[in-house]
Amino acid sequence: MSFTLKELAALCGGELRGDPALEIDGAASLSEAVAGEITFYADPRYLARLRQTRASAVFVPLDFSGQTAAAQIRVANPSKAFEQVVLKLAPKPIAFTPGIHPTAVVDPTAKIGSGISIQPHAVIESGATIGDNAVIGAGSYIGHESIIGASCLIYANVTIRERTRIGARAIIHSGAVIGADGFGFEFVEGRYQKIPQLGIVQIDDDVEIGANTTIDRARFGRTWIQEGVKIDNLVQIAHNVIIGKHSIIAAQTGISGSTRVGEKVMMAGQVGVIGHLTIEDNTIIAAQSGISKDLPGGAWFGSPAVPLPEAKRQIAWIHRLGKLFDRVKAIEKKLGL
């Protein structure tokens, strides 16, 4: 499939500067694009890449004043315009045929909605409920009395243990484990004894959970992932944690038990959070930060984390230490010390 630049400019409501008849049959990044493809430029940090790109056309901001060898389509949001084109050029999404595969194991007491697709070797235990138009991927496991909401997409090899509650339109990627026991033990009479984990996991509408992420069931009550939360791959969320609406958690983050994360919180990769803390709404936590106390909002970085401006000052001071030592030595030499 291909489009002319005139068609792409019309699609995105952009201003074309180039040959309207030029055909585009692909889309790629500034560094990877070749002739016949379109790319986008939205960040001044990538100006050098823009100058070197081999793309035939590029989306640029409305106020872009530079010259490019590639044709330009000026738009308000180059990234969004590029996304529209990518969707037009992409192959059709994979469609799952409704029905239950003969190799799937579905308990007779399970409640199965209309238009659902249960793929090969999936297991649906007794008392489970699967909402309308949901997809249960190959090899996935839905535990006893769990509820999967309408239009959920559960990819292959996901484990959802007993009594988990998942809202509508959730997406759970392969390898995720929802509802495993929380890490609870007591040292009694010279040995660790398991504390029963009797609660559930509740996942609200429009949540997406990445591959190989684990969300533990509560010791009692619930571990709660609220509406619109987006969780990356390889994230660990412990028992009784609450993640507020529309928060984002990047890969390799770990959140210890009973921590409460507010709404619209952003955690970058490899953040570590100890237990029983409160992180307030709209907090931003930079990558590899260690959180050991309640956070009142704002941007934080470091281990232990401090407000981001302070963290930047500390890093700058450390980088200047070498020059400071040299100056001190020079002064000592002059003084004969």
E-assigned strands of 205-304? 208-209, 214-216, 222-225, 230-231, 236-237, 242-243, 248-249, 254-255, 260-261, 266-267, 272-273, 278-279, 284-285, 290-291, 299-302
The two structure tokens encoding residue 218 = 């509560």
3-89, superfamily in CATH? MurE/MurF, N-terminal domain (3.40.1390.10)
| CA separation, residue 282 to residues 113, 118, 157, 317 (Å) | 37, 38, 34, 28
Task: Place domain 99-308 in its CATH homologous superfamily.
Answer: Hexapeptide repeat proteins (2.160.10.10)
Place of tokens 């028992």: 239
pLDDT at 310: 87
Opening angle at CA 210, ends 289 and 176, nearest 5: 110
Per-residue pLDDT reduced to its tens digit, 115-136? 999 999 999 999 999 999 999 9
Per-residue confidence (pLDDT) for residue 133, from 0 to 100: 97
- 307 three-state secondary structure: strand
* Residues 269, 249: Cα–Cα separation, whole Å: 8
**CB under 8 Å to 164, separation ≥6 — which residues?**
143, 146, 147, 178, 179, 200, 201, 202, 203, 217
pLDDT digits (tens, 9 = 90+) for 170-223: 999 999 999 999 999 999 999 999 999 999 999 999 999 999 999 999 999 999
Examine the residue annotation and report whether 239 is marked as an active-site residue of this protein. yes
Q: Which residues pair with 25 in a beta bridge?
A: none
pLDDT at 90: 85
Predicted pLDDT of residue 262: 98
Residue 151 C-alpha from the chain's centroid = 20
**CA gyration radius, the chain:** 26
Torsion of CA 163, 167, 171, 174, to 10 degrees: 0
Q: What is the pTM assigned to this prediction?
A: 0.84
Looking at the chain, the domain(s) classified CATH 3.40.1390.10 span 3-89
pLDDT beneath 70, residues of the chain: none
Q: Angle at Cα 110 formed by Cα 130 and Cα 175, nearest 5°?
A: 55
| Range(s) of the chain covered by CATH 2.160.10.10 | 99-308
pLDDT at residue 314 in the model: 84
Q: How far apart are CA 310 and CA 302, in angstroms?
A: 10
pLDDT for the residue 319 = 84
pLDDT of residue 315: 83
Catalytic residue among 101, 121, 144, 239: 239
Give the H or E element holding residue 16. Answer: strand 15-17
| Helix 78-89 vs helix 5-12: crossing angle, to nearest 10 | 120
Which pLDDT score is estimated for 332? Answer: 86
